[in-house]
Every structure is written in C-alpha cells, then in structure tokens.
Amino acid sequence: MSISKTRSKLYKIARILGDVDAVKKGKVGKRVKNRVVGKLTGKLLKKFW
C-alpha cells in the first residue's frame, strides 16, 4: 500500500472519529454545518485556481 493510500485511510478514520465525538458531545448540527460550508468553500476556491 502506498503512502498516499495510507494517508487517505487515516484521514477517513479521523473524520469518522470526529463524527462519533460530535454525537457524544451533542454537537452534530454544528459539525454538519461546518462540513457543508467546508465543501462549498473548497468548490469555490477550486474554480478560482
């Protein structure tokens, strides 16, 4: 397995653990909002580059 695939899997695991932590703390709505805003920002920035 290459380093990039390993890194990708680690980021995916970290994202899942962040979701679990948000559920435990009761901050799911805030996390969902931040993920949506982040994806939109990424798409907008991608258009400028």
User: Where do the structural domains in the chain lie, given as residue ranges?
Assistant: 3-48
Rg of the chain on CA atoms, in Å: 14
Q: With 90 as the cut, is the pLDDT of residue 43 above it?
A: yes
Residue 27 phi, psi (nearest 5): -120, 40
Distance CA 31, CA 23 (A): 9
The pTM of the full predicted model, rounded to 2 decimals, is 0.66
Q: Count Cα atoms within 13 angstroms, Cβ side, for 36.
A: 6
Q: With 90 as the cut, is the pLDDT of residue 21 above it?
A: yes
Distance CA 27, CA 40 (A): 20
